[in-house]
Amino acid sequence: MYRLLSIAGCVLLTATACSSTPVADIQPIDGVISGQCHTDRVLGATGLAAAPGTVERARVDSDSLQVRIIRGDGAPVAAPVAPTTGGEQLTIEVGRTNNITALHCG
């Protein structure tokens, strides 16, 4: 009986250790998301993996209410993309290896 409880405890401990951690509730520095997208503060995310936390951080830092991810062909960007402004949506282009290749508003 004790052995069965011990095994059940180990299984429970192992299952909780392997669970994925949720993305933290990311808040803007000034406490408000304006809803007017601007990419000047998030262009540094280009090249990073498009993990859920990175995408959410980029959305918040760009003051966007929504984010859209577009899968691209993965071709490298020839020149740095200039910051864009406008709209309430941040668009993130992602390459073949799930890296962020471009960010723009709209």
pTM: 0.67
pLDDT for position 13: 44
> What residues form DSSP beta bridges with 90?
67, 105
Nearest to residue 105, comparing CAs of 34, 47, 29? Answer: 34
> What residues form DSSP beta bridges with 69?
92
Whole-number mean pLDDT of the chain?
76
pLDDT band at 106 (very low <50, low <70, confident <90, very high): confident
Percent of the chain with pLDDT over 70: 63
Enumerate the domain spans of the chain: 33-106
* Tens digit of each residue's pLDDT (9 = 90 or more) over 53-90: 999 999 999 999 999 999 976 565 545 566 788 889 99
Q: Could you give the CA distance from residue 28 to residue 36 in angstroms, rounded to a whole number?
A: 13
Q: For 33-106, which CATH superfamily applies?
A: Trypsin Inhibitor V, subunit A (3.30.10.10)
